[in-house]
Structure 1
Amino acid sequence: MRKLLALTAGLAMTASLLAGCSSKPADTTTAASEAASTAAESAAGEESKAAEGTDSSSKDGLKVALCVTGAVNDMGWCQSAYDGLLLVEKDLGCEIAYTENVGAADMVATFTDYAANGYDVVIGHGFQFGDPALEVGELYPDTKFICIEAEAAADNVASYVMKCEETGYLEGMLAASMSKSGKLGFIGPVQGASLVKIMNGYEDGAKEVNPDIEVQTAWTGSFTDTALAKEAATAMIENGADVIGHCANESGTGALNAAQDAGIYATGDSYDQFELAPKAILTSAVYNVPELIKTAVSDIQEGKFEGTVKKLGMAEGIVELAPYHDMESVIPEDVRALIEEKAEAIKSGEFEVPCDTAPRN
Structure 2
Amino acid sequence: MTSIFKTLREGVQLLAAVMLIAFGGSQAVHAAGLKIAMVMPGPISDNDWNSVGYNGLQAAAKALGAEVAYSENVSDADAERVLRDYASRGYKLIFAHSFSYGDATLNVAEDFPDTTFMAGTAKELAPNVGSYSNPDYQGAYLAGMLGAGASKSKTIGWVGGMPAPNMLANFHAYEAGAKAMVPSVKVLHSFIGSWFDPPKAKEAAIAQVEQGADVLSAQGVGVIDAANARNVFALGAMTDQNHLGPKTVLTSVLWDLGPLITAVGKAVEDKTWTSQNWSFGIPEGAVRLADFHGLDAGVSPDVLTAVKAKFDAIKSGAFTVPLDTSNAD
Task: Please give the TM-score of this superposition, normalised by the length of structure 1.
Answer: 0.80
Secondary structure of the residue aligned to 1:267 is strand
Q: CA deviation at 1:349?
A: 2.0
CA distances 1:108-146 after superposition (whole Å, capped 9, x unpaired): 222112112222111111322333222211110011112
Contact 1:60–1:93, Cα closer than 8 Å, also in 2: no
In the other structure, the counterpart of 2:52 is: 80
% identity of equivalent residues? 36
Contact 2:149–2:300, Cα closer than 8 Å, also in 1: no
Q: CA RMSD in A?
A: 1.8
In the other structure, the counterpart of 1:120 is: 92
Q: For 1:132, which of 92, 99, 104 is the aligned residue?
A: 104
Q: For 1:189, which of 123, 143, 161 is the aligned residue?
A: 161
After the TM superposition, which residues 319-330 of structure 1 pair with which residues of structure 2 at under 5 Å, given as runs? Answer: 319-330=287-298
In the other structure, the counterpart of 1:175 is: 147
Contact 2:137–2:170, Cα closer than 8 Å, also in 1: yes
Contact 2:105–2:117, Cα closer than 8 Å, also in 1: yes
- For structure 2, which runs of at least 5 residues remain unmatched after alignment? 1-23
Contact 2:157–2:189, Cα closer than 8 Å, also in 1: yes
Contact 1:218–1:232, Cα closer than 8 Å, also in 2: yes
In the other structure, the counterpart of 1:155 is: 127
In the other structure, the counterpart of 1:269 is: 237
In the other structure, the counterpart of 2:265 is: 297
In the other structure, the counterpart of 1:164 is: 136
Count, aligned residues: 305
- Judged with a 3 Å threshold, the aligned counterparts in structure 2 of structure 1 residues 317 and 358 are, in CA distance, closer, same or farther, namely same
Q: CA deviation at 1:281?
A: 1.0
Is 2:70 the partner of 1:102?
A: no
Contact 1:151–1:309, Cα closer than 8 Å, also in 2: no
Is 2:36 the partner of 1:64?
A: yes
Q: Which amino acid aligns with 2:298?
A: V
Contact 1:199–1:247, Cα closer than 8 Å, also in 2: no
- d(CA) in 2 for partners of 1:89 and 1:98? 12
In the other structure, the counterpart of 1:211 is: 183
Is 2:310 the partner of 1:342?
A: yes
- d(CA) in 2 for partners of 1:321 and 1:189? 21
CA distances 1:75-127 after superposition (whole Å, capped 9, x unpaired): 11111110122223333222222111122222222211211222211111132
CA distances 1:46-81 after superposition (whole Å, capped 9, x unpaired): xxxxxxx99556222222111111101111111111
In the other structure, the counterpart of 2:13 is: none
In the other structure, the counterpart of 1:19 is: none
- d(CA) in 1 for partners of 2:309 and 2:105? 39
CA distances 1:194-246 after superposition (whole Å, capped 9, x unpaired): 11110111111111112221111111112221111111111111121100102
- Judged with a 3 Å threshold, the aligned counterparts in structure 2 of structure 1 residues 83 and 89 are, in CA distance, closer, same or farther, namely same
- d(CA) in 2 for partners of 1:106 and 1:191? 22
Secondary structure of the residue aligned to 2:32 is coil
- Judged with a 3 Å threshold, the aligned counterparts in structure 2 of structure 1 residues 155 and 215 are, in CA distance, closer, same or farther, namely same
Contact 1:189–1:223, Cα closer than 8 Å, also in 2: yes
- d(CA) in 2 for partners of 1:350 and 1:210? 21
Greater Cα radius of gyration, structure 1 or 2: 2
Is 2:324 the partner of 1:356?
A: yes
- d(CA) in 1 for partners of 2:25 and 2:215? 41
Is 2:312 the partner of 1:312?
A: no
- For structure 1, which runs of at least 5 residues remain unmatched after alignment? 1-52
Q: CA deviation at 1:151?
A: 5.0
User: Which ranges of 4 or more aligned residues in structure 1 deviate by more than 6 Å?
Assistant: none
- d(CA) in 2 for partners of 1:229 and 1:54? 45
Q: Which amino acid aligns with 2:274?
A: E
In the other structure, the counterpart of 1:287 is: 255
